[in-house]
């Protein structure tokens, strides 16, 4: 396969690929692109290139995976500064030696690079305890569209000097600048861990458990809710408990000192009074499960043709109503998963596009009526165009547009990714 | 003439009880808790978003800069109207609009006092985690503008980690909503950008906050050391050990003297430094954890470690820390507090440097700070009435900040840049970094009407633009002690 084919995006290939090895080389590549008026798409692992609209123009693929160094780890300060192309998995393998970790577990986290995780703003189950990358990020170095290198934040855990630029670039889908370095606060690894799985006949039966975990002062590491179909996809390859009568599964991961872990488990079991099954998972099963969990109900890149992946942002208490809306059509086998204490729901439907569009359209109306937000995470470009990438579009978009115009006036970074930017 | 017209319009919207314009009233609004001063032309006290919009529109018609003020406890001059203009004070916007005990959210107006949120949530076993020492006075709007922290932010994060959404009045009077009660609103994270923007991007008129469950148990440790060195070594060791307590605060000998003479909290008067450490959460294993931390302190030669579980005793130990800034009055008429942050493993070295700087300038410096975060608060003691002492205090402060930056740290961890540190920004940021920030500001505040000249290095252009506009209204009343702007600077970030 041609090198250039690895960077195919929605059917098109770039004119050129650059694989810079340093921040300065990234800046140089961007200056060169600026001279030619080229549109640039930054690349990490490529695992999430299907998020957002396909870029309207695509001349240069800027592959950052050779920027993969750890620049400074201060174990006694619990901070690290890395280059953006480093893979999360490699970073955490290195940190494990110090009993520390960057507690992020985004979808396809085994491949994902730090830069890609930051740009997409995707999070995983551990977010229940540690927040998202947004909360752990303390500094950034970014190459702007014209090749200027700038920095925001720093390598200290508290910092209010100037605007909080790291927040702006987090989740901006590479439309404002190319992240070349990032600093994070780290966490000590929990001394002990345990995982429980609960099965329920109905979503409303699961709610007391998820809501009690939300307000649990022991802060469970993760509280994931899955529908039966999602659970079955996992059970295909893992030795998980079985319950043919279950519609909903809740998986609780507790971490901390051993006594705390046991206490959280006891409370979870007590709150799951309506559960059909309650199982403490063997350690190996649990760790295999958590390695897979974040990618459940997230479509791979490139997305299969007869599939659509969406994300809903609601309140944790709205999960019951949402479960009903998600599975309202018999025609589409829906797989869904939620961060139970956060109200973020990921769903994947498969079937003929017309039916999928109807399903997604109804979900969008439902979510907006509940005061939440709706995003298409994966699927065909035509589906995104038909439904609109995200909703609601509020007047704040005008401000976002002005920011884009200030930082990338020629609109050459990932043009059109967000629709308006 | 224009002034009379502007006043007339303000009175029409706010009525005589909602506008202040006479000198003896304005005098009360010419300062915050920093050392800069400047008198606004008018003060208005809105009660609703609509009134804020009306005020902004009137200010725009008369070319008045707008400065928002919460409780005025800011420590960097953010709420000081050094260019005059219209001051919008939020203290009458103090309604808690909603507490959602199921989803752990609160919706509040910006003038709500920090601790009032926790008090309202307490019935549900919940609280608002950011706990600045000024929490009985400062407002949520001020906390958001400064991205305030507090002792317990070590474990739970600062204000930005607890704000989910905002309603904001832009400088042209438009009202936008950013973020919301759900997580992760799509598009750019404007909420994250506005938090910490020091009132330069928009006026916060409503905030959606995240609440947290109260810990079931708290154990407070008081570790007493002979030297600051030993105490700061212990801090790095606790962090490196992988146990993150709820809070680790340090007070040095000078601070202990002040605190203990103001009120007896039981710190030994002859100690070189004390650490105040909270471990909290579930009761299970908590005392073991406390003893584990006590052993680390003893390993670094703590001569005594007291472990308090009784709420009254814990309260007493903490009361000294909470009243520490106020207690400085026992030692000197004024203090200048700096707010640099250093990597935690650099604490011993930088604290030694601070003492050395104090000696060199002939000034006493007390240290009371968020040691677990590496967030220093050297309190430089002086007398504001003495210009020479004041100059030395300001210079010593700048030198301390320089030492923090050289140690890999930053200018400010929670108090903000404001007027006080704006000319130190180039220590940390290159001209292009600053230009990007200026561009972001331009996306919100293109005509620089809102809190002009704050946060960015002062340029003649900024100061002159506003002085000219102001001259059209009346003679400027401004007295500042920060050095006059140099003319070599770029003129971009007005
Ligand atoms: C004794 C003492 C102890 C302190 N301890 C701490 C501490 O532990 N941690 C800490 O972080 N700080 C601390 N501070 C500093 C100060 O209390 C905080 O910065 C606080 O958040 C300021 O709130 P305020 O309501 O007084 O704001 P003000 O001082 O009135 O204003 C501060 C800034 O916020 C802006 N602002 C206010 N309201 C709004 C709004 N609605 N929209 C937009 N902008 C707005 C103003 O324009 C200004 O720039 C302390 C101060 C004192 C005096």
CB B305 within 8 A of CB B297: yes
**A156/B408 Cβ within 8 A:** yes
**B282/A260 Cβ within 8 A:** yes
B317/B344 same-domain check: no
Compute the distance between CA of residue B292 and CA of residue B84 in angstroms, rounded to an integer: 55
B236/B291 same-domain check: yes
**Residue A26, pLDDT above cutoff 70:** yes
**Residue A163, pLDDT above cutoff 60:** yes
Residue B428 lies in a domain: no
For residue range B321-341, what is the model confidence (pLDDT) as tens digits?
Answer: 988 998 998 899 999 999 999
CATH code (residue B57): 3.30.43.10
Compute the distance between CA of residue B454 and CA of residue B474 in angstroms, rounded to an integer: 22
Ligand 1 centroid to residue B77 C-alpha, Å: 9
Binding site membership of B451 for ligand 1 (Cβ less than 6 Å): yes
For residue range B371-414, what is the model confidence (pLDDT) as tens digits?
Answer: 999 999 999 999 989 999 999 999 999 999 999 999 999 999 99
* Of A310, A387, A305, residue with least CA distance to A352: A305
Residue B434 lies in a domain: no
B196/B268 same-domain check: no
**Residue B478, pLDDT above cutoff 50:** no
**Residue A104, pLDDT above cutoff 60:** yes
Three-class DSSP category at B232: helix
Put simply, whether A176 touches B (Cβ < 8 Å) is yes
B182, closest residue in chain A (CA to CA): A314
Q: Quickly state the pLDDT bin for A329 (edges 50, 70, 90).
A: confident
Q: Quickly state the pLDDT bin for B492 (edges 50, 70, 90).
A: very low
**Would you state the pLDDT for residue B460?**
65
**Residue B482, pLDDT above cutoff 70:** no
pTM of the model: 0.96
* Of A64, A67, A65, A58, residue with least CA distance to A16: A58
B100 CB neighbours in chain A (<8 A) are: 315
Q: Quickly state the pLDDT bin for B118 (edges 50, 70, 90).
A: very high
Binding site membership of B141 for ligand 1 (Cβ less than 6 Å): yes
For residue range B180-195, what is the model confidence (pLDDT) as tens digits?
Answer: 999 999 999 999 999 9
H helical segments located in B180-285:
190-194, 228-241, 253-262
Compute the distance between CA of residue A190 and CA of residue A261 in angstroms, rounded to an integer: 10
- Nearest CA distance, B75 vs chain A (angstrom): 13
Compute the distance between CA of residue A64 and CA of residue A26 in angstroms, rounded to an integer: 8
Q: What percent of chain B has pLDDT over 90?
A: 85
Put simply, whether B329 touches A (Cβ < 8 Å) is no
Binding site membership of B265 for ligand 1 (Cβ less than 6 Å): no
Domain holding B349, by residue range, is 332-423
How many of the other CB atoms lie within 10 Å of CB of B330? Answer: 12
Binding site membership of B364 for ligand 1 (Cβ less than 6 Å): no
**Would you state the pLDDT for residue A1?**
60
**Would you state the pLDDT for residue B490?**
35
| Per-chain mean pLDDT for chain B | 92
Binding site membership of B31 for ligand 1 (Cβ less than 6 Å): no
**Residue A110, pLDDT above cutoff 90:** yes
B243 CB neighbours in chain A (<8 A) are: 188
Residue B437 lies in a domain: no
Given B213, B245, B265, the domain boundary residue is B213
- Nearest CA distance, B264 vs chain A (angstrom): 31
Residue B441 lies in a domain: no
**Residue B276, pLDDT above cutoff 50:** yes
Q: Look at chain A and count its residues.
A: 421
B190/B279 same-domain check: no
Q: Token pair of B460, please? A: 């003649």
Q: Domain count of chain B?
A: 4
Q: Mean pLDDT over residues A236-263, rounded?
A: 96
B107/B206 same-domain check: yes
Ligand 1 centroid to residue A307 C-alpha, Å: 50
* Of A73, A68, A61, A72, residue with least CA distance to A113: A68
CB A387 within 8 A of CB A368: no
Q: What percent of chain B has pLDDT over 70?
A: 93
**Residue B212, pLDDT above cutoff 80:** yes
**Residue B64, pLDDT above cutoff 80:** yes
What's the Cα-to-Cα distance from A128 to each of A105, A124, A213, A216, B450, rounded to whole Å? 11, 8, 10, 11, 37
For residue range A166-213, what is the model confidence (pLDDT) as tens digits?
Answer: 999 999 999 999 999 999 999 999 999 999 999 999 999 999 999 999
| Per-chain mean pLDDT for chain A | 96
The β-bridge partners of A250 are A198, A225
For residue range B154-174, what is the model confidence (pLDDT) as tens digits?
Answer: 999 999 999 999 999 999 999
Given B284, B311, B326, the domain boundary residue is B326
Residue B436 lies in a domain: no
A262 CB neighbours in chain B (<8 A) are: 284
Residue B45 lies in a domain: yes
CB A308 within 8 A of CB A362: no
Task: Report the phi/psi class of residue A297: left, alpha or beta, with left for phi > 0 and alpha for psi in -120 to 50.
Answer: left
B342/B398 same-domain check: yes
Higher-confidence position of B262 and A338: A338
For residue range B444-462, what is the model confidence (pLDDT) as tens digits?
Answer: 999 999 999 999 998 766 7
B165/B223 same-domain check: no
**Would you state the pLDDT for residue A51?**
93
B406/B342 same-domain check: yes
Binding site membership of B339 for ligand 1 (Cβ less than 6 Å): no
* Of B36, B454, B105, B482, residue with least CA distance to A160: B454
**Residue B51, pLDDT above cutoff 60:** yes
Q: Mean pLDDT over residues A246-254, rounded?
A: 98
**Residue B464, pLDDT above cutoff 80:** no
Binding site membership of B70 for ligand 1 (Cβ less than 6 Å): yes
SS3 per residue for A318-363: HHHHHHHHHCCCCCCCEEEEEECCCCEEEEEEECCHHHHHHHHHHH
B249/B314 same-domain check: yes
Domains and CATH numbers, chain A: 1-189+394-421 (3.30.465.10), 192-292 (3.30.70.3450), 307-388 (3.30.70.100)
Given B185, B213, B241, the domain boundary residue is B213
Please give the full DSSP string across B26-74, using - where no structure is assigned.
Answer: HGGGSB-SSS-EE--SEEE--SSHHHHHHHHHHHHHTT--EEEESSS--
Q: Mean pLDDT over residues B425-443, rounded?
A: 95
H helical segments located in A57-202:
88-96, 114-120, 127-130, 133-136, 165-169
Q: Which residue, judged by its Cα, is nearest atom 50 of ligand 1?
A: B134
Peptide bond just before B360 cis, omega within 30 deg: no
B72/B103 same-domain check: no
Compute the distance between CA of residue B154 and CA of residue B373 in angstroms, rounded to an integer: 6
Residues 66 to 125 of B: which have CB under 8 A from any A CB? 100, 102-105, 125
Q: Mean pLDDT over residues B119-132, rounded?
A: 97
For residue range A280-320, what is the model confidence (pLDDT) as tens digits?
Answer: 999 999 999 999 999 999 999 888 889 999 999 999 999 99
CA angle (A260, A263, A269) in 5-degree steps: 145
Binding site membership of B150 for ligand 1 (Cβ less than 6 Å): yes
Residue B435 lies in a domain: no
A257 CB neighbours in chain B (<8 A) are: 284-285, 288-289
**Would you state the pLDDT for residue B479?**
41
With b for 16 or more beta-carbon neighbours within 10 A and e for fewer, the A77-103 pattern comes to bbbbbbbbbbbbeebbebbeebebbbb
Ligand 1 centroid to residue A323 C-alpha, Å: 42
Q: Mean pLDDT over residues A97-109, rounded?
A: 96
B206/B229 same-domain check: no
Residue B261 lies in a domain: yes
CATH code (residue B411): 3.30.70.2740
Of the candidates B177, B196, B237, the beta carbon closest to that of A160 is on: B196
B80/B36 same-domain check: yes
**Would you state the pLDDT for residue B239?**
87
**Would you state the pLDDT for residue B240?**
83
CATH code (residue B268): 3.30.70.3450
With b for 16 or more beta-carbon neighbours within 10 A and e for fewer, the B139-160 pattern comes to bbbbbbbbbbbbbbbbbbbbbb
Binding site membership of B30 for ligand 1 (Cβ less than 6 Å): no
Of the candidates B160, B178, B415, the beta carbon closest to that of A164 is on: B160
**Residue B493, pLDDT above cutoff 50:** no
H/E element holding B337? strand B334-337
B182 CB neighbours in chain A (<8 A) are: 313-315, 343-344, 371-373
CB proximity list for B385: less than 8 A, separation 6 or greater: B333
CB A416 within 8 A of CB A53: yes
CB B103 within 8 A of CB A315: yes
Three-class DSSP category at A237: coil
Please give the full DSSP string across B370-436, using - where no structure is assigned.
Answer: BGGGTB--EEEEE-TT-HHHHHHHHHHHHHHHHHHHHTT-BSBSSS--TTTTGGGGGGT--HHHHHH
How many of the other CB atoms lie within 10 Å of CB of B311? Answer: 10
Put simply, whether B401 touches A (Cβ < 8 Å) is no
Compute the distance between CA of residue B310 and CA of residue B219 in angstroms, rounded to an integer: 8
Compute the distance between CA of residue B142 and CA of residue B70 in angstroms, rounded to an integer: 6
Compute the distance between CA of residue A42 and CA of residue A58 in angstroms, rounded to an integer: 10
Of the candidates B183, B190, B192, the beta carbon closest to that of A343 is on: B183
Ligand 1 centroid to residue A105 C-alpha, Å: 35
A162, closest residue in chain B (CA to CA): B455
């Amino acid at each position: 396969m041609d090198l250039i084919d690895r960077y195919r995006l929605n059917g098109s290939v770039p004119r050129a690929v650059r694989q810079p090895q340093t921040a300065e080389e990234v800046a140089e590549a961007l200056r060169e692109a600026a001279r030619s008026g080229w549109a640039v798409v930054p690349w990490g692992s490529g695992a999430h290139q299907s998020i957002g609209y396909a870029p309207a123009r695509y001349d240069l693929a800027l592959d950052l995976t050779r920027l993969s160094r750890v620049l400074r780890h201060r174990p006694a300060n619990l901070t690290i500064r890395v280059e953006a192309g480093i893979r999360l998995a490699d970073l955490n393998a290195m940190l494990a030696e110090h009993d520390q970790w960057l507690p992020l577990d985004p979808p396809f986290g085994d491949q994902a690079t730090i830069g890609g995780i930051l740009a997409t703003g995707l999070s995983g189950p551990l977010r229940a305890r540690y927040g998202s990358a947004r909360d752990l990020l303390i500094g950034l170095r970014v190459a702007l569209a014209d090749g200027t290198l700038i920095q925001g934040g720093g390598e200290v855990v508290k910092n209010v000097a100037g605007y909080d630029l790291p927040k702006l670039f987090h989740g901006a889908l590479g439309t404002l600048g190319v992240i070349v370095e990032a600093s994070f606060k780290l966490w000590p690894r929990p001394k002990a861990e345990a995982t429980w799985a609960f099965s329920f006949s109905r979503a409303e039966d699961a709610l007391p458990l998820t809501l009690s975990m939300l307000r649990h002062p022991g802060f469970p590491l993760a509280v994931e809710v899955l529908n039966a179909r999602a659970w079955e996809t996992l059970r295909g390859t893992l030795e998980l408990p079985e319950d043919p009568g279950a519609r909903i599964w809740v998986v609780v991961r507790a971490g901390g000192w051993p006594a705390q872990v046991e206490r959280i488990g006891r409370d979870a079991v007590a709150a799951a009074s309506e559960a059909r099954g309650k199982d403490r998972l063997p350690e190996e099963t649990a760790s295999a499960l958590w390695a897979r969990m974040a990618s459940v109900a997230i479509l791979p890149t490139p997305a299969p043709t007869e599939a659509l992946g969406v994300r809903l942002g609601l309140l944790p208490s709205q999960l019951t109503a949402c479960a009903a809306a998600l599975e309202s059509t018999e025609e589409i086998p829906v797989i869904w998963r939620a961060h139970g204490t956060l109200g973020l729901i990921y769903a994947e439907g498969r079937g003929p596009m017309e039916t999928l569009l109807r399903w997604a359209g109804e979900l969008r109306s439902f979510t907006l009526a509940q005061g939440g937000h709706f995003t298409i995470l994966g699927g065909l470009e035509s589906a995104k165009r038909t439904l609109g990438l995200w909703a609601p579009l509020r007047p704040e978009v005008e401000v976002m547009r002005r920011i884009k115009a200030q930082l990338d006036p020629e609109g050459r970074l990932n043009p059109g990714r967000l629709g308006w930017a | 003439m224009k002034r009379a017209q502007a006043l007339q319009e303000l009175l029409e919207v706010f009525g005589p009880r909602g506008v202040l314009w006479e000198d003896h009233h304005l005098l009360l609004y010419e300062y915050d808790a920093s050392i800069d001063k400047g008198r606004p032309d008018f003060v208005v006290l809105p009660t609703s978003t609509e009134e804020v919009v009306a005020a902004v529109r009137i200010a725009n018609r008369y070319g008045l800069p707008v400065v928002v003020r919460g409780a005025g406890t800011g420590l960097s001059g953010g709420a000081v109207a050094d260019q005059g203009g219209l001051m919008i004070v939020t203290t009458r916007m103090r309604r808690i609009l909603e507490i959602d005990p199921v989803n752990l959210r609160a919706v509040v107006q910006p003038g709500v006092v920090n601790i009032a949120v926790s008090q309202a949530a307490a019935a549900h076993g919940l609280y608002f985690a950011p706990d600045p020492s000024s929490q009985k006075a400062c407002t949520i709007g001020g906390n958001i503008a400064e991205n305030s922290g507090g002792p317990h932010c070590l474990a739970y994060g600062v204000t930005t980690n607890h704000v989910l959404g905002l309603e904001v009045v832009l400088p042209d009077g438009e009202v936008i909503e950013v973020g919301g009660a759900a997580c992760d609103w799509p598009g750019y994270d404007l909420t994250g950008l506005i938090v910490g923007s020091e009132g330069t991007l928009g006026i916060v008129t409503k905030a959606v906050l995240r609440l947290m469950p109260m810990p079931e148990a708290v154990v407070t440790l008081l570790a007493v050391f002979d030297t600051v060195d030993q105490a700061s070594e212990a801090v790095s060791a606790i962090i490196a050990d992988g146990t993150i307590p709820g809070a680790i605060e340090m007070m040095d000998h000078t601070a202990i003297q002040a605190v203990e003479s103001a009120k007896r909290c039981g710190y030994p008067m002859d100690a070189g430094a004390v650490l105040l450490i909270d471990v909290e959460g579930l009761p299970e294993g908590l005392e073991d954890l406390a003893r584990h931390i006590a052993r680390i302190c003893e390993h670094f030669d703590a001569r005594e470690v007291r472990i308090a579980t009784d709420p009254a005793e814990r309260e007493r130990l903490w009361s000294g820390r909470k009243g520490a800034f106020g207690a400085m009055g026992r030692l000197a008429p004024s203090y200048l507090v700096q707010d640099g942050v250093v990597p935690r493993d650099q604490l011993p070295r930088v604290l030694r440097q601070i003492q050395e700087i104090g000696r060199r300038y002939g000034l006493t410096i007390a240290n009371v700070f968020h040691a677990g975060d590496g967030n220093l608060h050297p309190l430089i003691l002086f007398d504001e009435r003495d210009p020479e002492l004041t100059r030395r205090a300001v210079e010593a402060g700048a030198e301390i900040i320089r030492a923090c930056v050289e140690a890999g740290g930053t200018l400010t961890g929670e108090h903000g840049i404001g007027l006080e540190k704006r000319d130190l920004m180039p220590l940390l940021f290159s001209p292009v970094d600053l230009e990007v920030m200026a561009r972001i500001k331009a996306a919100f505040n293109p005509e620089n009407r809102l809190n002009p000249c704050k946060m960015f290095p002062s340029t003649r252009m900024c100061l002159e633009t506003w002085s000219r506009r102001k001259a059209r209204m009346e003679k400027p009343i401004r007295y500042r002690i920060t050095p006059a702007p140099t003319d070599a600077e770029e003129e971009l970030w007005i």
